Structure formats: C-alpha cells, structure tokens
Structure 1
C-alpha cells in the first residue's frame, strides 16, 4: 500500500487523529484538503455563525500554509451550509475577507441538514506551489 503524504497544521494533529482523518493529502501536484469547520482548538464549534465562518477559513488557511500554499493556490471549493437559504448570504458577506481577487476558484455550494454541530464547512483542492502545470 502506498503511504499517504499527509499535511497537518501546527497544533491540531491530535484533533485530526482523534477523529480518524487527515486534514490534507498531497497527490500528483495537488493538495486535497478535508472539510474545515469553525472549530476552536478543542474541536468545539464557534457559537456565532459569522465567527464560525471566519474560523473555518482560518483553519483552512492553516492547513494550506502547512503545505506551502495560499488561498490563491485554491482551484476548487466546496462549501456545505446548514440552512443554506438563510446562511449563504451571511457566509458570502465574509468571503471577501479571505477570497482575494478574481479570477476566483470554482465553487460548489451544498445545503445540508447536519454538520456535526457546525453550520458551515469548506473543503478545497489546491495546486501545490512546486507544480507548473496549467
């Protein structure tokens, strides 16, 4: 079996190991990042929706940085929202703080009924900085 090239952000390895998944895996010049939620250091959710979205992006950026990436390297985004009809606009008011300038990555938004106590989750695929493929 091939060994996965796993990326862990600083200080959160035990949280991922406790939950039995990898925060990100490098493969074929890409970084596949697991869904990031607005969890505090102990894994509990931020109680305020907008703070939860910001924390999810901060957690995402920590994983990207651990792999030598930035949000500018992201090529595909999937977001999951509980009560999407209400929360999509609330989340998208925060996105410009993190998203950067156009051209933007692709996006798939999915409304869900449950996210393990969270209201927002973001997962991405990013280009690793040492790749030159277009």
Structure 2
C-alpha cells in the first residue's frame, strides 16, 4: 500500500481544510497537485485573465516549492479553460514565462463551462527529486 503525505504551501491551509482536500499528495516518488486557480488570499478570483493565469502559476509554484521541487520536475499538465475559443491566446501568451525549456511536460487541455468563478485552472503531476522522493 502506498503512503499519502499531504503537502501544504505556506498559508491558505484553512481553505483546503474547509473544502476537505489536499493541495498536493506525495506518493511513490511523485507529487500529485490539485487544480490551482488564480485565487487571491481571500479565495476570490483575480478578475483580469492575464493576472489570473499568473496567480494560478504562482499558487502552483508555492505548492511545488513546499514539496521540494519546481516546475522543471513537472511531467504532466492538465489545464481547464472556460470558453477556450476566446481565452486561449491570452492564456498561451503567459505560459512560456513559467513553462521553462524543452523537453516540455505532456499537456491535456480541456474546455469547460464553469470553474467556480475562475477562467483557468492548472493541475500537474511532478516527479520528485530522488533526495525527497520518499
């Protein structure tokens, strides 16, 4: 049986406990990160789409750092976009700032109709560095 160890970024723990899920789980050398959105400290969406995507990546990077890794360790990405036909270009202009160098992680993009007031969500799986994989 694999052991699940929750990973929490600094602050914001109450949000996860209130909603009854972990921001990330470390298991068998991998880190499984829950979908991250561009939420402000109070949990509300950042209204500007460009800023919302950047904040989602900042929130994601805080979780990755809390687990001892970075976006360079990400192997699989899933993004959810409300109305991708009108928002895709704005979102994809921001990604290179966070994506890093090739080889890039795998990617699945999903168009959705609702994200609890958000327009973008990113979920990842990362391979933990060997020194912290257990």
TM-score w.r.t. structure 1 length? Answer: 0.94
The answer for the alignment partner of 1:52 in structure 2 is: 52
TM-score w.r.t. structure 2 length? Answer: 0.94
* Equivalent residues of 1:15, 1:42 under 8 A apart: no
1:17-64, Cα deviation, whole Å (9 max, x unpaired) = 111110000111000000000001111100111100000000000000
Measure, in 2, the Cα distance between the counterparts of 1:30 and 1:2.
Answer: 11
Measure, in 2, the Cα distance between the counterparts of 1:89 and 1:70.
Answer: 25
Provide the aligned C-alpha RMSD in A.
Answer: 1.6
Residue 115 (str. 1) matches residue 115 (str. 2): yes
Aligned length: 132
SS where residue 81 of structure 1 aligns? strand
SS where residue 130 of structure 2 aligns? coil
Measure, in 2, the Cα distance between the counterparts of 1:18 and 1:39.
Answer: 15
**Pairwise mapping of residues 92-131 of structure 1 onto structure 2 (< 5 A)?**
92-130=92-130
**Pairwise mapping of residues 9-28 of structure 1 onto structure 2 (< 5 A)?**
9-28=9-28
Question: What are structure 2's unaligned runs of at least 5 residues?
Answer: none
* Equivalent residues of 1:37, 1:121 under 8 A apart: yes
Q: CA deviation at 1:4?
A: 2.7
SS where residue 101 of structure 1 aligns? coil
